[in-house]
Amino acid sequence: MEVKGTIFSINGPVVKVVGSDGFKMYDQVFVGSERLIGEVIGVGDKHTVVQVYENTTGLKPGEEVVSTQRAMSVILAPGIIGGIFDGIERPLKVVEKQSGAFIERGLTVDPVDTTKKWKVEILAKVGDSVSGSMIIAQTPETLQIMHKVMVPPDVSGVIEEIVPNGEYTITDSIAKVKTASGKTVDIKLMQVWPIRIPRPHNGRVNVRRPLMTGQRVIDTLFPLAKGGTAAIPGGFGTGKTMTQHQLAKWSDADIIIYIGCGERGNEMTQVLEEFTSLSDPKTGSSLMDRTALIANTSNMPVAAREASIYTGITLAEYYRDMGYHVAIMADSTSRWAEALREISGRLEEMPAEEGFPAYLSSRLAAFYERAGYVNTLCKKEGSITVIGAVSPQGGDFSEPVTQNTKRFVRSFLALDRLLAYSRHYPAINWLSSYSEYVEELTPWYEENINEKFMGHRTRLIAILQEEANLNEIVKLIGSDVLPDDQKLVLQTARVIREGFLQQNAYHPSDTYVPISKQFLMMDIILYLNEKAREILSRSIPISQIIKTGIFEEIISIKYKVDNENLGKFDEYRALIDKACSDVIANNEVIKR
Amino acid sequence: MNIEYLGLKSVSGSLIVIEGIKDASFEEIVEIKTDEGGSRMGKIIELGGDYAVVQVYEGTRGLSKTNTVTRLTGRPMELGVSKEILGRIFDGAGRPIDGLGKIFAEKYIDVNGKPMNPVSREYPRNYIQTGISSIDGLATLIRGQKLPIFTGNGLPHDELAVQIATQAKIEGANRDNFAIVFCAMGVSGDVADYFRKKFQENGVLERVVMFLNLSSDPVGERIITPRCALTAAEYLAFEHNMHILVILTDMTSYAEALREISSSQNEIPSRKGFPGYLYSDFASIYERAGMLNTGSGSITQIPILTMPNDDITHPIPDLTGYITEGQVVLERNLYQKGIYPPVSVLPSLSRLMKDGIGEGFTREDHPDVANQLFAAYSNVQEVRSLASVIGEDELADTDKKYLEFGRAFEREFISQGRDENRDIDQTIDLAWNLLKILPREELSRIDSKILDKYYPAENTP
Ligand SMILES: Nc1ncnc2c1ncn2[C@@H]1O[C@H](COP(=O)(O)OP(=O)(O)OP(=O)(O)O)[C@@H](O)[C@H]1O
Ligand SMILES: [Mg+2]
């Protein structure tokens, strides 16, 4: 039976509807004569409240609102990877064809092409008993991603019919499953899933593998875990987007879902252009072959911004269920929170801190909770890593979104305005950032990279900490009066900062650095530190070592040693030895 | 459609409520006739069963509950455009005020615009030479960029904006396809006059479209002024393939107008009383900069905003910085030292610069030189604070060099004449002369090959 009502009032994206009790919470609706897409967000005794995902200009009271009688959902099917969608999964390339360079309202477009034929390989046979998320077929979605065709999570039974290998569209039925209750369900390449409900899995597994990013300050100091959560807070221009782009380009996830939530249009254009032309370091195919973009830019309707986060994570869960490691970047979760605030304000709800609704915290928790390393229903391992940018007003981390996010993430990469001003990039503050995954990941680093890895890491952090303490003194009296061993701390810390932590995203080889090289860089810095200390113990002044230029040499390793040419580190070791023995020899001459 | 309604339910702030209204649509424009026979405009901002809340652009002064007549226009706010708008002056709602008569409109466009599809954008890549060293060298303006000037009361932002607008050399732009759209929001008549006079002196007035909502003009109208201006800009850029430089001043007055209206609607404020949607509202203006892959036109925006108390963390500069592609920050200290333009180098940044400079655009050594200038000047700050503690004489020799570099950099590089137009070669050569004050080993941000070419080793003092 059709459920429909009429518009009673309009206030921005919030529309109140009268005339029917049939609307259900979170149902998708069509609003007005232009059939704008909306979602039921409140069912009261007088009105049903709908948030509209498109601009409501021109709507009139009395126009019709029709329920689709289905929760706000996304289509899950091959064709998502490589695409760019708005916050409610409308493909922007198709939108462009229909409405030109500027986005019109009331467009109805299929998220993925329903006419394209996919080359499907069937993996099950008649008589097989199947249950939710079991894989019955596969099709190469891109050069890189094999799309697994799964039985929908809520279906189980016996395969009655199945098609042979061949070419099928996403709406073709490729199998019929008879369920226990005797119903026959068509299985297609396509599924539909409500965005606000997490897709089921078979239980969480502890994280134990890092998400390698090729970014030294992250992989070495504040590692991310596959299935983990991370936040990147920072004032404007501190490098949130750059960092997210770097992670999207270089991290070793199988699939990237990149959500531009309330940010710049140009940035999405840039990702699209760059990712299409860049090739994946592992496979050589285009980066878009593993990426889906969701672009709800800051000038697009605010309600769709709220939905974009859920759209993104639902796509991620779908690929996780196939057994992939998915990383999802949300830039910026603050814009999502502001969308919540705006809608909440229009509903005249009681605000909590800074006008944000009291449920901000629980919504954030629920979102990050959808990350994780899991056993999938089809008995594989898959993961979702969530990395959210946070844009605190005034760069002040005490504001509600940063504070609440901090409770639910375990890696915290704090961007620092002063570092950005002095062009120390990535401007991740090494004193206020942390990763709670270090302990869980230690075995992995020690087995796969080097058993000294974590020891070195600790040493690096200690030196940087010591530098921070010394800087307090230097500020007051200058560095000249410090004893030489403390001057050495400052020198080594400088090498760590400039030669290791600073990483140039625009440099062809520095932009991505494999973890094996990260270890060697760390190793050689500490070696230099040790040798220099030896020299100091002979009462030779540090200025003599500085004069050899060896500190600069080591700093320049990041540009001079290619990622493929790690043998060169031995030469640098020899260089250090030589510089040191020269200094010693010189001194002996002077003494004599 | 043309039904008139007599009387209002209530009047408060800039809002009126009309009852018994039929067939109104959300955000349509309402014409309001006053007792004295005047006519005003307003927009429906909330619509209920049979009432409408209307925000009156020209304010509600003198409106009575009983005698006011309202009429629905059935249309959103529109601007009539044609190429005739070049050289013309409009009020804040897009009505001609230069006495040259009406515009014969080729079409009417909804001033709210529509979001540009990211897929249809062309990523901005080509630099604009402004002739100002601190900008060209360190925060290069790119065609299609939105790059605001963060300034303070009494600083020379207007002079700087004029200088940029008149010196700007945009690739592909010439006298026929370049124009300036100037949008004044809440600035004084003097400021508007200053711009007009300068444009005239520089002989570009016939290439300028002005939209003026002055400080004495209605606050409500201020909300539509930038939208009118950007509609004109979009029309010229995307329908006539022109290169448009849009100057928006002062975004702070704009935001304050928004705050005033928001509070009269009893909305829940976020920081400093500004509405929670200030970010989205700003974005609906700033995101209208850019280029399309279907044409050759461009919109480059230079919004000017005065930071209340010179505070960059105030919501207005803060939310602007979160949307624009960098910022040029002016600094009072420098200005007091007599430096024009007083561009504060460290917080100033052009985010699109990297793709528009270097070989093929400006010069191969530009990226490294810019980087090095930042690094060196940032070190100067540290040395200065140290010197203020221990005294300049106690500084190490290199540190003394840094102080010398810092002074020269401010006096010779940042500072320049109000009509001085330096091309990019002059700017970068000047930078090298200054960098040579420092020992060669200090220039660690510059590739050694480039260093060898521009600062050969034997030069080392
Ligand atoms: N890793 C990096 N390497 C080189 N440059 C960087 C790096 N990170 C940031 N930058 C510089 O800082 C600028 C701003 O960075 P980004 O756009 O990522 O900031 P943001 O934190 O996302 O700001 P907003 O909140 O306004 O979006 C970049 O355009 C670039 O010039
Ligand atoms: Mg960003």
Task: Indicate the residue of A59, A103, A475 with minimum beta-carbon distance to B115.
Answer: A103
Distance CA(B336)–CA(A587), nearest Å, equals 51
Region of poorest pLDDT, from A1-5, A193-197, B132-136 = A1-5
Q: Kindly tell me if the per-residue pLDDT of B460 is higher than 50.
A: no
Cα A156 from Cα A522, distance rounded (Å):
53
Nearest CA in chain A to B49: A8
Contact A84 B47 (CB under 8 A): no
Q: Where are the beta strands (DSSP E) in A475-574?
A: none
Give yes or no for A349 touching B (CB within 8 A): no
Percent of chain A with pLDDT over 90: 79
pLDDT for B98 beyond 50: yes
> Considering only CB atoms, which chain B residues are within 8 Å of A99?
117
Average pLDDT of A490-498?
94
Which letter does DSSP use for residue A302 in this model? H
Distances in Å between the alpha carbon of A292 and those of A333, A389, A411? 18, 18, 24
User: Which residue, judged by its Cα, is nearest atom 31 of ligand 1?
Assistant: B351
Select from B26, B114, B276 the Cβ nearest to the Cβ of A58: B26
Residue B408, pLDDT above cutoff 70: yes
Q: Inter-chain contact A266–B325, Cβ cutoff 8 Å? A: yes
Distance from the CA of A263 to the center of ligand 2, in angstroms?
A: 7
Residue A191 scores a pLDDT above 60: yes
Domains and CATH numbers, chain B: 4-76 (2.40.10.170), 79-355 (3.40.50.12240), 366-459 (1.10.1140)
Task: Report the share of chain B in percent with pLDDT over 70.
Answer: 99
B356 pLDDT more than 80: yes
Tokens in use for B136?
């060209």
Q: What are the respective helix, strand and coil percentages of chain A, to the nearest 5?
A: 40, 25, 40
What is the rounded average pLDDT of the residues B147-174?
89
Sheet containing strand A118-122, strands side by side: A146-150, A135-140, A118-122, A166-168
- State the closest ligand 1 atom to the C-alpha of A391, by its place in the atom list counted from 1: 25
pLDDT band of A590, cuts 50, 70, 90? low
Q: In percent, how much of chain B has pLDDT > 90? A: 66
- Please say if the pLDDT value at position B461 is more than 70: no
Most A CBs within 10 Å: which of B322, B323, B351, as the mutation test of the A interface?
Answer: B322
Instruction: Provide the number of CB pairs (under 8 Å) joining chain A to chain B.
Output: 200
Which residues, judged by CB distance below 6 Å to any ligand atom, belong to the binding site of ligand 1? Answer: A 234, 236-242, 263, 391, 425-426, 504-506; B 321-322, 351
Question: For all residues of chain A together, what is the average pLDDT?
Answer: 93
pLDDT digits (tens, 9 = 90+) for B332-345: 999 999 999 999 99
pLDDT single digits (tens) B40-55: 999 999 998 789 999 9
The residue whose CA is least distant from atom 14 of ligand 1 is A237
A245-294 pLDDT tens trace? 999 999 999 999 999 999 999 999 999 998 888 887 677 788 999 999 99
Report the atom number in ligand 1 closest to the C-alpha of A263: 27
Q: Which of residues 203-232 of B touch A (CB under 8 A)?
A: none
pLDDT the model gives residue A107: 86
In the predicted model, is pLDDT for residue B19 greater than 80? yes
Ion ligand 2: residue ranges with CB closer than 5 A: A 240-241
pLDDT tens digits along A536-552? 999 999 888 988 889 98
Burial of A173 (0-12, 13-18, 19+ CB in 10 A): middle
Mean pLDDT within A462-488:
89
pLDDT tens for residues A175-186? Answer: 999 998 989 999
Instruction: Tell me: pLDDT of A372 over 90.
Output: yes
A10-59 pLDDT, tens digit per residue, is 988 999 999 888 899 999 999 999 999 999 998 988 899 999 999 999 89
pLDDT at B3: 78
Measured from the Cβ of residue B167, the count of other Cβ atoms closer than 10 Å reads 19
Neighbours of A273 (CB within 10 A): 14
Cross-chain Cβ contact A480/B46 below 8 Å = no
Residue B327 neighbours by CB distance under 10 Å: 25
Q: Which ligand sits closest to the CA of B146?
A: 1
Does the beta-carbon distance from B314 to A298 stay under 8 Å? no
Confidence of residue B229 (pLDDT cuts 50, 70, 90): very high
Per-state percent for chain B, helix, strand, coil, to nearest 5: 40, 25, 40
Whole-number pLDDT of residue B50: 83
C-alpha A239 to ligand 2 mean position (Å)? 7
The whole-angstrom separation of Cα B409 and Cα A542 is: 31
Nearest Cβ partner of B123 from A10, A269, A475? A269
- What does each C-alpha distance from B112 to A105, A537, B92, B211, B226 come to in angstroms? 13, 72, 14, 16, 10
Please give the radius of gyration of chain A, using alpha carbons only, rounded to the nearest integer: 28
Query: Model confidence over A579-589: pLDDT tens digits?
Result: 999 999 888 77
Task: Read off the pLDDT of each residue in B426-439 and give the average, rounded to a whole number.
Answer: 95
Which of A61, A92, A477 is facing B119, going by the closest CB pair?
A: A92
Can you tell me the distance from the alpha carbon of B365 to that of B429, in angstroms, rounded to the nearest whole number?
A: 10
Q: Is B374 on the interface with A (CB under 8 A)?
A: yes
- The pLDDT of residue A587: 82
Residue bearing the CA closest to ligand 1, atom 1: A426
The lowest-confidence range among A69-73, A364-368, A387-391 is A69-73
Nearest CA in chain B to A549: B441
pLDDT above 80 for B458: no
| pLDDT greater than 70 at residue B1 | no
**Which of B119, B147, B327, B448 is the best substitution to test chain A (most A C-beta atoms within 10 A)?**
B119
- Which DSSP string do the residues of B156-182 spell out, in sequence order? THHHHHHHHHHH-EETT--TTTEEEEE
By most ligand atoms within 8 Å of CB, the mutation choice from B142, B287, B351, B357 for ligand 1 is: B351
Contact B49, A63 (CB under 8 A): no
* Of residues A357, A310, A352, A309, the one with CA closest to residue A333: A309
Cα B116 to ligand 2 centroid, rounded to whole Å: 18
Give me chain B's average pLDDT, please. Answer: 91
Count of all residues that appear for chain A in the document: 592
Q: What is the ipTM of this complex?
A: 0.91
What is the average pLDDT across B443-456?
Answer: 88
pLDDT digits (tens, 9 = 90+) for B173-195: 777 889 999 999 999 999 999 98
Question: Is B358 or B1 the better-scoring residue by pLDDT?
Answer: B358
Q: Which amino acid is at A529?
A: N
Q: CB of B48 within 8 Å of any CB in chain A?
A: yes
**DSSP-derived 3-state class of residue A554:** helix
